[in-house]
Amino acid sequence: MPQHVVVIGAGVIGLSSAILLQQAGHAVTIVARDFPEPFETMDPLTKINYTSPWGGAHNRWVPPHPSLPPHLTREHALSRTTYTHMQRLYHTHPHTAGLTFLKGVEYMERPGPAQEALSTPSAPNALDLPGFRLLDRSEFPGGGSGSDGKGGGVTWGCEYDTWCVNPMVYCAFLLRRFVNRGGRVVRRELRRPEEGFALSAGELGLAVDGGGGDGEKGVPVVAAVVNASGTGLVPDPDMTITRGQTCLVAEDCDVTVTRQNEDGTWTFCVPRGFEGGTIIGGTKELNNWDTKPSAEVRAELLRRFVETYPKILGDKKELTVVRDIVGRRPTRNGGPRIEGEVVPGAGFVMHAYGLGGRGYELSWGVAEAVVEGVEAQIKGAAAKL
Ligand SMILES: Cc1cc2nc3c(=O)[nH]c(=O)nc-3n(C[C@H](O)[C@H](O)[C@H](O)COP(=O)(O)OP(=O)(O)OC[C@H]3O[C@@H](n4cnc5c(N)ncnc54)[C@H](O)[C@@H]3O)c2cc1C
Ligand SMILES: *[C@@H]1O[C@H](CO)[C@@H](O)[C@H](O)[C@H]1NC(C)=O
Ligand SMILES: *[C@@H]1O[C@H](CO)[C@@H](O)[C@H](O)[C@H]1NC(C)=O
């Protein structure tokens, strides 16, 4: 019997979860304060807590390693699952999904043990990353000429196959697909996920008198609520944000580049495709709630990127700034929370939040886990009857 599932959140996590739940045969309603809209008219002041528009967003493979936090092992598996879904989506919708496949290039000034493991001559690609190749010194920025302050500080580099999305083109595509297949959407701000269980039959798209509304007082039975609310509904003491300032420029780029500098800063670009320019980034500032972009930071980000990858300029002298971006990555101490919880007096809540800087790259893996959690709950509840 199809079950009603309410998904709170229309960021990349809520949308992906809603689509896979729907595909598994459930009747799904998305309830959210914010929905995808064109990036060009997105208001940074009112939408700062809706993270999905402000992401890059690319997939950057993050190799797990025994010396690194254990949640990275799980996240790597989620990113592999997501990659497979993205390949399929690209195959069926190359012009409409907002998705681009391209090379990812990584440069590091100080590689760690995970990179060293990928550089072993006997097993140069132990993780079997698609299209993986170690770069030769001559391919490093500045021609690998050493620490000359002109990008020569890079000591390790690789390239691989990966993907980027134009976030709002991609999220709007997901939303359209969901609604086109019968999904319901309600724009509403909730205070607690438990409120998802108390939505009226009308809001769930049911005939008000019956039609499946078999709960008490005309309240229909919602089998599960998915908590995909991003940066926060009620406080989870492990939740915070990581501020990111980036800059959108009009130029395209043929690859997505990530450079990790010795001082802990990042220099990267994410081409958005679909006439969306390229994101040049970016900062990672834990617990910084400042909403305003800094002009000095922008200048520094652009300068460092051009130094790392001058090819982006073509025959221009400088990059063409479209707008500054400030976003809040939903960061969770110990990694994302993807698990079910029975909330007394309400029902089964499947949590899917705390994706930090990796929401897009883990999205389909998280959505599969959400379906698994919800179905295990429904089967368990049926077995008890
Ligand atoms: C500068 C920057 C660069 C990034 N680059 C990348 C990248 O390259 N690759 C990558 O994978 N990720 C990247 N990210 C991270 C990525 O954007 C996030 O991980 C992702 O967008 C989180 O999605 P989400 O669905 O969890 O949350 P959100 O997108 O924040 O969605 C939350 C949803 O919940 C709703 N909601 C919240 N509270 C309530 C409430 N009380 N009532 C009703 N609805 C509510 C909101 O309205 C919204 O619909 C980047 C982020 C930033 C800031
Ligand atoms: C964003 O969230 C913070 C923290 O919950 C809150 O103080 C702020 O008012 C919110 N901003 C907007 C524009 O909703
Ligand atoms: C739901 O998700 C938010 C993150 O958006 C989190 O803070 C909260 O603790 C979660 N759980 C509940 C029961 O609200």
- Per residue in 50-66, pLDDT tens? 999 999 999 999 999 99
Q: Tens digit of pLDDT for each residue in 270-283? A: 999 999 999 999 99
Inter-CA distances, 343 with 203, 229, 240, 378, Å: 22, 17, 23, 15
Per the CB < 8 A criterion, the answer to whether 355 and 13 are in contact is: yes
Please name which of 284, 300, 186, 303 lies closest in space to residue 243, comparing C-alpha atoms.
Answer: 284
Is the beta carbon of 33 within 6 A of some atom in ligand 2? no
Summarize the confidence of residues 68-80 as an average pLDDT: 94
User: Is pLDDT at 218 greater than 80 in this prediction?
Assistant: no
Closest residue to atom 1 of ligand 3, CA basis: 227
Look up the pTM and report it: 0.95
Q: Which of 50, 189, 234 to mutate to test the pocket of ligand 3 (most atoms within 8 A of CB)?
A: 234
Residues that constitute the known binding site for D-dopa = 329, 357
Please name which of 46, 85, 105 lies closest in space to residue 305, comparing C-alpha atoms.
Answer: 105
Q: 126: pLDDT confidence band, cut at 50, 70 and 90?
A: confident
pLDDT at site 238: 93
pLDDT at site 210: 47
Which ligand has an atom closest to residue 287 CA? 2
What whole-number percentage of the chain has pLDDT above 70?
93
Closest residue to atom 4 of ligand 1, CA basis: 55
Summarize the confidence of residues 229-237 as an average pLDDT: 81
C-alpha 279 chain-centroid distance: 15
Residues that constitute the known binding site = 51-52, 329, 357
Q: 125: pLDDT confidence band, cut at 50, 70 and 90?
A: confident
End-to-end Cα distance, the chain = 14
pLDDT at site 147: 52
Q: Tens digit of pLDDT for each residue in 320-348? A: 999 999 999 999 998 999 999 999 989 99
* Interacting residues of 295 by C-beta distance below 8 A, sequence separation 6+: none
Q: Tens digit of pLDDT for each residue in 162-175? A: 999 999 999 999 99
Summarize the confidence of residues 176-186 as an average pLDDT: 97
Summarize the confidence of residues 102-119 as an average pLDDT: 93
Is the beta carbon of 229 within 6 A of some atom in ligand 3? yes
Q: 215: pLDDT confidence band, cut at 50, 70 and 90?
A: very low
What whole-number percentage of the chain has pLDDT above 90?
81
pLDDT at site 156: 95
Is the beta carbon of 232 within 6 A of some atom in ligand 3? yes
Ligand 2 center–CA 383 separation, angstroms: 42
Ligand 1 center–CA 230 separation, angstroms: 5
Is the beta carbon of 49 within 6 A of some atom in ligand 2? yes
pLDDT at site 381: 83
Torsion of Cα atoms, 250 then 251 then 257 then 258, to 10°: -30
Backbone angles phi, psi at 117, to 5 degrees: -65, -30
Ligand 3 center–CA 259 separation, angstroms: 33
Summarize the confidence of residues 206-223 as an average pLDDT: 58
Ligand 1 center–CA 47 separation, angstroms: 11
Question: Mean pLDDT in the chain?
Answer: 92
Residue 197: both structure tokens together: 């269980």
User: Is pLDDT at 151 greater than 70 in this prediction?
Assistant: no
Ligand 1 center–CA 241 separation, angstroms: 11
Distance between CA atoms of residues 112 and 263, nearest Å: 14
User: Is pLDDT at 217 greater than 80 in this prediction?
Assistant: no
Distance between CA atoms of residues 193 and 248, nearest Å: 34
263 burial via Cβ count (<10 Å: 0-12, 13-18, 19+): exposed
Q: For residue 41, what is the DSSP state?
A: G
Torsion of Cα atoms, 297 then 302 then 304 then 309, to 10°: 160
Per the CB < 8 A criterion, the answer to whether 303 and 285 are in contact is: no
Question: Which uninterrupted H or E stretch holds 298?
Answer: helix 295-308
pLDDT at site 313: 97
Distance between CA atoms of residues 231 and 34, nearest Å: 12
Which residue do the tokens 């309830």 mark?
31
- 172 against 381, higher pLDDT: 172
Ligand 3 center–CA 233 separation, angstroms: 5
Is the beta carbon of 46 within 6 A of some atom in ligand 2? yes
Is the beta carbon of 227 within 6 A of some atom in ligand 3? yes
Q: Answer left, alpha or beta for residue 294, where phi above 0 means left and psi between -120 and 50 means alpha.
A: beta
Per the CB < 8 A criterion, the answer to whether 251 and 69 are in contact is: no
Q: 3-state class of 385 per DSSP?
A: coil
Q: Which of 33, 48, 231 to mutate to test the pocket of ligand 2 (most atoms within 8 A of CB)?
A: 48
